[in-house]
Structure 1
Amino acid sequence: MNSNRHVVIIGNGIAGVTCARQLRKLDEKVRITLVSGESKYFFSRTALMYVFMGHMKFEHTQPYENWFWDKNRIELKEGWVKSIDFAAKNLLFQSGEDMSYDELVLATGSKPNKFGWAGEDLQGVQGLYSKQDLELMEKNTQEGVKRAVIVGGGLIGIEMAEMLAYKKIPVTILVREKGFWGNILPKEESGLVGRHIREHHIDLRLNEELEEIISDPNARVKAVKTKSGEEIQCQFVGLTAGVTPNIDFLRKTELEVNRGVKVDFGFRTNIKDVYSIGDCAEFHEAPASDRKHVEQVWYTGRMQGETLGHILAGHNVTYQPGVWFNSAKFLDIEYQTYGHVPARWDTGQVKSFYWEHPVGKVAFRMLMDLNGRILGVNNFGFRLRHEFFDQAIREGWDGDRVISKLDKANFDPEFFAPYYIAIQQAFKNQFGGDFTISKKTFIQKLFGASV
């Protein structure tokens, strides 16, 4: 492979940056350029909320020092790409500049969904994804905001609600499902999160949808109208009903696109020497039976970037995503999920075990097939080890084995009560099992925990 070639990566999020770093590790000669109009330097997108709340400065969200890129000979080009001439292998920037490439990686990420609501483009109405969105939110909430309305639940919605609440701005969340994140979480977990949100004085409206956003005489939002007919006065509206691949400038070209840029498991598009990874990529076929065609999660972006880095360095590999994993926070409740735990399942095909602590903020669910083999886990309010469940699901452990070894999965036992003991007892009460619940008295004395 010609190492004097020029690889251009559009997008400096986790997928694009990981690809650049991996390729540089494997090839010392290839020229690499990272292109981004959003920011010159890579930053942690999940930390934007802490910048808004004043806990961090924006530069603190950048995990690499500015000299890192020169040292690793990764060129940074700040600018928005207007169009691509795939035949000539050339990028045209909005500034009028252009750039040639030998191989191109499209890692342009996502943008907040809009569904054609009346008033969705008014001042004071926005999503939250990019650095520019953060800057706009800071401007839109500086003064005169007596109430905010967030349209849509999920992870971005709860982050935005926490940001607004921190600044003492009352918040109403409109969620069309009958439970918070009800298309992802089972009923019990959704109920736990919903209760927690309301306990933080956030006005959570379930089974409610946006009808229109109403303007004042200055083309700024003054209220929203719901489909039930209620009018809620507000001066800020957050649109957090999911995200979609950021590929509008790639449509109406010879590149094959659908929701995202269509790729195979080597991230190849229908155009030679053009690849796509991260939030904007869409697989022709889902990577696994429990995976989606578009994977918009931080850790899958990192895995895709690593894999493509190997491919661009000449290695014969394909994307092997492994066991599904995600983590997040609902206000101060930590959430982890491993494997396949859908919002609903056929009780004739799946066995479910669910335990919830009496305080209502800690919970554990495990799904098993009819033979008792683990399918997936949801965990709320305390941490469990990723590698433990990755191995258990990959190797198809019986539920008994998983529960009997749950103490091995306990993360930071100094800071987390031994909930696994109560989980073990509840599992044994429901399903039986020949394992013993050991060390209970010792651990209770050690931690002073009531389980």
Structure 2
Amino acid sequence: MEHIVIIGNGISGVTAARHIRKLSDKKITIISAETDYFFSRTALMYIYMGHMKFEHTQPYENWFWKKNRINLVKGYVHFIDHKNQTLKIENSTDISYDKLIIATGSKPNKFGWPGQDLSHVQGLYSKQDLDALEKNAPNKKICKRAVIVGGGLIGIEMAEMLRSRDIPVTFLVRESSFWNGVLPNGESQMINEHILEHHIDLRLETNLVEILSDESGKAKAVVTDKGDTIDCDVVGLTAGVSPNISFLRDSGIELGRGIKVNRMLETNIPNIYAIGDCAEQHEGIGNRRPIEAVWYTGRMMGETLAQTICGNPTEYKPGHWFNSAKFLDLEYQTYGWVFSELNKKEYEQHFHWRHASEKICVTIAFHKDTKEFLGINTFGIRMRHKIFDQWLTENRNIEYVMEYLKDANFDPEFYAQYEQEIITHFNKKFDTQISPKKKSWTRIFTTPKSRA
């Protein structure tokens, strides 16, 4: 019986295993050194905040794996012998494979800062990181201040977690505005305001120089490039993540920043594949980056590769870009492409609307010549993924999107609706006379593909 071995029990590896089992009777083994069972990594913050227990983050009961004949091995793979198709497991017996899927995810970035390996300096990616934060920052008596280094999504999550226990937080962000390499100016500025309103000491255009140690080897302060020394008990390193591939350096597998794969998710070694955060396309798909450390793309790679493993060769085609996140209590969604001012394409034009008093805004990107709809960002308004996906596929123009924008609103009826105000602002800015229209739900999902 063909043996499929998967290294990593995150969303990518587990999805691949589940779909291979649905499609076949192959022998499946998952190896992971992190936890005994799969859990939802995106829910880690809610455990610390008291909203969930760890067992609530496990989508499947412990008996699920045995019932579905998926073998679980807890261990660390320290070498892949691809010539003999064997894995060397630390402090355990070797495991042979017929096909190998590498789904080892990411690890927090470290940039050689003095003191970065001290006690009480940590990232926020793994279950072990969560356990360390619980130990190092249980309350504001033990942790009188935390310093977070790096202004991305993990950083803002860690800040929210610590503030939920009233622990003072200083947030060092090297950019001139929060996440302005991704968000347009209006949105980035709004997030700056939101962070400050949550009593977080946000320091923009500030870099970490050094982490100072006390006599026991524990972090006691950070030094910034502004000359400030900030006393603290915990330092969170959240300046992004990198593929977790250090154990592959002498494996013969082609590496870049991640594991190089083609559109079939194959490496340069026969019968070895890579999916999820650790996989790097030779060239990005469309506007996508070669490495995508995103939950849903990891899931899609797992589903796609399962087809190939089970005899139906399938290219990885992720479709239109979308994502969602939360900045403290502010929900964010993006569909299609809305580039920041720092990275904006020459053909791209933005329409930005922000509510006069609430933290609610919309930015829509469109082609300045053809008026084709390119993408949308929303903060504080929930939108329907399926409708925007359809409009992007149909190459709808900006006027069409504005006319039918209300159809895309996912908020319940008792929520405030802002579409009329948005359209009025659009008409005034671009000297148009668009009025809102509403289609039936049937038409929304059955309109034939066409150009607007």
TM-score range, shorter chain: over 0.9
What is the one-letter code of the residue matched to 2:189?
A: G
Which position in structure 1 is the counterpart of 2:307? 310
> Deviation digits for residues 124-143 of structure 1, max 9, x if unmatched?
10000000111111111135
SS in 1 for 2:320: coil
Alignment partners' CA distance in 1, 2:346 and 2:209: 39
Question: Among residues 98, 105, 110, which one is paired with 2:101 in the alignment?
Answer: 105
Cα RMSD for the two superposed structures: 1.3
Question: Among residues 274, 282, 290, which one is paired with 1:284 in the alignment?
Answer: 282
Alignment partners' CA distance in 2, 1:214 and 1:347: 42
Which position in structure 1 is the counterpart of 2:324? 327
Alignment length (residue pairs): 434
Which position in structure 2 is the counterpart of 1:418? 417
Alignment partners' CA distance in 2, 1:102 and 1:438: 57
In the TM superposition, what is the alpha-carbon distance from 1:253 to its structure 2 partner?
Answer: 2.1
Alignment partners' CA distance in 2, 1:117 and 1:268: 35
Alignment partners' CA distance in 2, 1:263 and 1:411: 37
Select between 247-256 and 141-150 the one with higher mean Cα deviation.
Answer: 141-150
SS in 1 for 2:387: helix
Which position in structure 2 is the counterpart of 1:382? 381
> Deviation digits for residues 377-418 of structure 1, max 9, x if unmatched?
111012000011111112211001011111110103335311
CA contact (8 A) 1:192 1:360 kept: no
Alignment partners' CA distance in 1, 2:432 and 2:400: 9
Alignment partners' CA distance in 1, 2:41 and 2:195: 23
TM-score by length of 2: 0.94
What is the one-letter code of the residue matched to 1:37?
A: A
Aligned counterparts, 1:194-233, within 5 A: 194-233=192-231
Q: Note if 1:193 corresponds to 2:188.
A: no
Alignment partners' CA distance in 2, 1:191 and 1:408: 28
SS in 1 for 2:263: coil
In the TM superposition, what is the alpha-carbon distance from 1:435 to its structure 2 partner?
Answer: 3.6
Which position in structure 2 is the counterpart of 1:294? 291
> Deviation digits for residues 151-181 of structure 1, max 9, x if unmatched?
0011100100011111111000000000001
TM-score by length of 1: 0.94
What is the one-letter code of the residue matched to 2:352?
A: Y
Alignment partners' CA distance in 2, 1:381 and 1:146: 32
CA contact (8 A) 2:404 2:437 kept: no
CA gap 1:432/1:313 in 2 versus in 1, 3 angstroms = farther
Which position in structure 2 is the counterpart of 1:403? 402
In the TM superposition, what is the alpha-carbon distance from 1:299 to its structure 2 partner?
Answer: 0.7
In the TM superposition, what is the alpha-carbon distance from 1:347 to its structure 2 partner?
Answer: 7.6
Question: Among residues 269, 272, 275, which one is paired with 1:271 in the alignment?
Answer: 269
CA contact (8 A) 1:425 1:437 kept: no
CA contact (8 A) 2:348 2:366 kept: yes
What is the one-letter code of the residue matched to 1:63?
A: P
Which position in structure 2 is the counterpart of 1:443? none
Which position in structure 1 is the counterpart of 2:449? none
Aligned counterparts, 1:246-261, within 5 A: 246-261=244-259
Question: Among residues 109, 122, 137, which one is paired with 2:118 in the alignment?
Answer: 122
SS in 2 for 1:189: helix
What is the one-letter code of the residue matched to 2:37?
A: Y
What is the one-letter code of the residue matched to 1:320?
A: K
> Deviation digits for residues 8-28 of structure 1, max 9, x if unmatched?
01011111111111111111x
Gaps of 5+ in 2: 439-452
What is the one-letter code of the residue matched to 2:398?
A: G
Select between 196-205 and 354-363 the one with higher mean Cα deviation.
Answer: 354-363
Which position in structure 1 is the counterpart of 2:347? 349
SS in 1 for 2:410: coil
CA gap 1:278/1:415 in 2 versus in 1, 3 angstroms = farther
> Deviation digits for residues 238-297 of structure 1, max 9, x if unmatched?
000000000000112211111000000001001000000000000111111x11010110
